[in-house]
Structure 1
């Protein structure tokens, strides 16, 4: 598992992006943020919910819906959003610190 990998969990929920540091790969869970197609997402707060293109479809990063899930539900990654690292980390900073 790699930080910023995107998964389509087996339970059929929305795509999620793994934001957890690879240093903590030994844990049984991963910190993830759902990715919701832009047309189905609530009105975004731009810095908190940046837009990400996933396989040609615009998604909103729902940082305020962040959670931990068992690694076993994630399966194989469908893509990686490491190119959006700064936006993702900035969104988490906004959620945690408000700045």
Structure 2
């Protein structure tokens, strides 16, 4: 697993971003945040829910819905959002600290 990569989940037909540091790869779970197609999320706040173009489709990061998932539930990688690390980190900072 790799931080800021997007994976397809095995149990649900959604994508999720891995937020967990690579230093903790030995843990049996990863902290992930789901991505939804823009039309599937009824509201968003730009700082909390940034948008990313993945394989030609626009997705919104549902930061407030992050969770720890068992590694066994995480499928194949489909994209790498490392170039958006600052935006992703800013969204988690906004969720936890309000700025």
TM-score category by the smaller chain?
Answer: over 0.9
Report the Cα offset of residue 76 of structure 1: 1.7
* Greater displacement, 69-78 / 27-36: 69-78
Structure 1 or 2: more strand by fraction: 2
CA deviation after TM superposition for structure 1 residue 59, in Å: 0.5
| Cα distance, 1:22 vs structure 2 | 0.3
- What is the count of residue pairs matched by the alignment? 99
What is the CA–CA distance in structure 2 between the aligned matches of 1:84 and 1:42, rounded to whole Å?
23
2:28 equivalent to 1:28? yes
> How much does 1:43 deviate?
1.4
State how 1:76-91 maps to structure 2 within 5 Å: 76-91=76-91
TM-score by length of 1: 0.95
Identify unmatched segments of 5+ residues in structure 2: none
Whether 2:11 is the aligned partner of 1:5: answer: no
Q: TM-score, normalised by structure 2?
A: 0.95
